[in-house]
Amino acid sequence: GKIDRLIVIALDPGHGGEDPGAVGPRGLRGKDVVLGVALQPGGRLNTLPNVRAMMTRDADFFVPLHERVRKARRVQADLFVSIHADAFLTPQARGASVFALSEGGATSSAARWMANRENAADLVGGVNIDAKDATVMRTLLDMSTTAQIRDSLKLGGEVLGQIGKVGKLHKGSVEQAGFAVLKAPDIPSILVESAFISNPEEEAKLRDPEYQAQLVHALAVGIQRYFAKNPPLARSRQL
């Protein structure tokens, strides 16, 4: 599938700044891991023809969830990929997982737990969404179309398939829950849990540049495969 226009992919390293994200048993911080993965010079996304990656944060600072969504929409991103390395209820939990938005309930109680936890990130940074913004947010959610979720599940499936070649998967299918950061109504959006930092073995893996590079490769290939099967619509892009 030849792509004849610029494709913009919003990469969203989770947490940051005063929100460290989860911290592993040996002190590795989620916010640092995911920034490293997203910044990987071998990030390969920028080396693909006609593809440009846009970061919602490129250093250690706090970005409110709705601002992450807004940044992606501002550059008319074709895809939104949020990268995380979070903790789980038990230190035994391991494996990568991929999430998409759910219009209704979550696909599992674990997915609901993750979404609630992620959505609380704004509380750390003391974000106050005023009434006007709240109305805008609500309207956005109402627009959060079935089409977006359908495409997000396709994208998630491709990415999950590639990550499965790199290491163990926590769940073999794309999970869904009400993640606030996945709510751009017009951009297929997924959240990738690269590994559970709360598991000592996984924490060690997340420190390993080799694993990080494999993860980046898996993401890039998954995204390429998605576009090969779902060519982006023509769009006049003001850049």
Q: Where are the domains of the chain?
A: 7-229
CA distance 23 to 112: 21
When pLDDT is averaged across residues 173-185 and rounded to a whole number, the result is 90
**Architecture of the domain made up of 7-229:** 3-Layer(aba) Sandwich (3.40)
Block residue for tokens 């606030």:
180
β-bridge mates for residue 99, sequence order: 175, 191
Confidence of residue 238 (pLDDT cuts 50, 70, 90): very low
Residue with tokens 């993401």: 219
pLDDT of residue 142: 57
Asked if residue 184 lies in contact with residue 148, where contact means CB atoms within 8 angstroms, the answer is yes
Q: What integer is the mean pLDDT of 162-169?
A: 93
Sheet holding 79-84, edge to edge: 51-55, 7-13, 79-84, 189-193, 97-101, 175-177
Distance CA 129, CA 71 (A): 16
Q: How confident is the model at residue 84 (pLDDT cuts 50, 70, 90)?
A: very high
